[in-house]
Amino acid sequence: ECEYDQKTIVSFFKEGDSLHPTLTDVIVFTSTPDKVNNKYYLGPAPLDDMAWQIATAYGPCGNNRDYLFLLAVYLPFLRPLIELN
């Protein structure tokens, strides 16, 4: 959350149920292509350039490479939990 220029609070809904959110008050941090507020924005780039940026970036919250690998490990475990709710 340290380097993003937008913070939004959202709710998530199961497909087919637009009245009862599955998750509420979820904070989502996003970045825009505004180079003043987002100094790390790469812009349209080849996949190799994007991979290099992710692999070598390090910010106030840690190493992006570690975050990406942990995300890849845990997403398969989270999906069944989300689908159950």
**Tens digit of pLDDT at every position of the chain (85 positions):** 567 778 899 998 888 888 999 889 988 888 788 878 877 788 889 989 988 888 888 877 788 888 788 888 888 877 766 655 5
Q: Given the structure tokens 């959350």, which residue do they identify? A: 1
- Tell me the domain boundaries of the chain: 1-41, 42-85
Whether the pTM exceeds 0.75: the reply is: no
**pLDDT (0 to 100) of residue 2:** 64
78 C-beta neighbours (distance < 10 Å), count = 10
Residue type, 34: D
Q: Where are the beta strands (DSSP E) in 2-84?
A: 6-13, 21-30, 58-59, 62-63
**pLDDT (0 to 100) of residue 57:** 85
Q: Where are the beta strands (DSSP E) in 1-85?
A: 6-13, 21-30, 58-59, 62-63
Q: Which of 1, 3, 15, 83 is catalytic?
A: 1
Pair of tokens at residue 21:
């959110």
* Catalytic site includes residue 15: no
**pLDDT (0 to 100) of residue 81:** 60
Cα(27)–Cα(25) distance, integer angstroms: 6
**pLDDT (0 to 100) of residue 82:** 60
